[in-house]
Amino acid sequence: MYVDTHCHLDDSAFDADRDAMFARAHAAGVTGFVLAGVDRDSWIRQRALVRSRTDCVRAAGVHPMIVGRFAFDEPALRAQLDALHAEFRDDGAAVAVGETGLDAHFVDAATLDVQLRAFREQLALARALDVPVVLHVLGRGTHARAIDVLRSDGLPARGGIVHSFSGSADVAQIYQRLGLVCSFAGAVARPAAAKVHAACRAIADDRLMVETDAPDQAPPGTPSRMEPARLGEVADAMARVRGTTSAILLARSAATARRLFPTLPPAPP
């Protein structure tokens, strides 16, 4: 009945045991999956997954790390951005735009102007299609710049998600007022992550989601390959921070995910 609100289950990390990985997720009560696209190769793999399964939906976008890689190869970047439009048509179509946003942590900050341009273009696509946007915003100064863009350009009416949220409580409140949902991944399980904990406490129940970002972002001190069956590890950490139970948190997160992505499998009666 639960939903992993952001994961990369097409990743080659799951090539050896993908069916077993899905079976473990279902056994753990995680029966819906939002796949996040990063580049054209991932869109092809994720479209095939969505076509072959009823429990996956997907977002398609050009990730800021990919934009960074092609920042000085305009034809290659253009090809990715132009190809994106076709991902919202035909069998296995994407239902959200993303990941898009800004990254000055893993990506050279010298590429931020190019990242900004690709972000605004993808945001405009989400508005035109009226689908949610899935944001990746990471690194010094990126939240302020992303918020400026969201305020000046506007969000799609269907809103969106800031995935793997790592900003402050103040930044979380701003995103929330703009109409976005904040989703948390394994970093919230870090005992010393006081800023992330404060942000996790600052968000309303219906604006908060739980994700694995599998295969990345395993909680510290746990097996490094994250997978949806371990969504409860993230929820447990968030529940401790918020003084609630992970079952309540996961049920609310799933309800929020189904509002954003109505084609996810419904909750059991």
Question: Could you tell me which of 104, 103, 110 has the C-alpha nearest to residue 72?
Answer: 110
Nearer to Zn ion, 36 or 150 (CB): 36
Q: Shortest Cβ distance from residue 136 to Zn ion (Å)? A: 6
Count of chain residues binding Zn ion (CB under 5 A): 2
Q: CA-CA distance, 111 to 147, in Å (whole number)?
A: 18
Nearer to Zn ion, 87 or 213 (CB): 213
Stretch that binds Zn ion, among 15-23, 31-39, 115-123, 251-259 (CB under 5 A): 31-39
Q: CA-CA distance, 248 to 231, in Å (whole number)?
A: 13
Q: Shortest Cβ distance from residue 101 to Zn ion (Å)? A: 10
Q: CA-CA distance, 30 to 2, in Å (whole number)?
A: 4
Q: Shortest Cβ distance from residue 251 to Zn ion (Å)? A: 23
Q: Site map for Zn ion, 100-139, x if CB under 5 A? A: ----------------------------------------
Question: Could you tell me which of 263, 256, 230, 212 has the C-alpha nearest to residue 51?
Answer: 263
**Rounded-to-10 torsion of CA 255, 134, 139, 238:** 10
Q: Please report whether residue 36 would count as binding Zn ion according to CB under 5 A.
A: yes
Q: CA-CA distance, 235 to 188, in Å (whole number)?
A: 9
Nearer to Zn ion, 71 or 161 (CB): 161
What backbone torsions phi and psi does residue 113 show, to the nearest 5 degrees?
Answer: -65, -40
Q: Shortest Cβ distance from residue 75 to Zn ion (Å)? A: 26
Query: Which of the residues 209 through 228 are near Zn ion (CB under 5 A)?
Result: 213
Q: Which residues pair with 3 in a beta bridge?
A: 32
Q: Shortest Cβ distance from residue 152 to Zn ion (Å)? A: 25
Nearer to Zn ion, 103 or 213 (CB): 213
CA atoms within 13 A on the CB side of 211: 30
Q: CA-CA distance, 112 to 104, in Å (whole number)?
A: 7
Q: Shortest Cβ distance from residue 145 to Zn ion (Å)? A: 20
Nearer to Zn ion, 36 or 84 (CB): 36
Catalog residues that contact Zn ion under the rule CB under 5 A: 36, 213
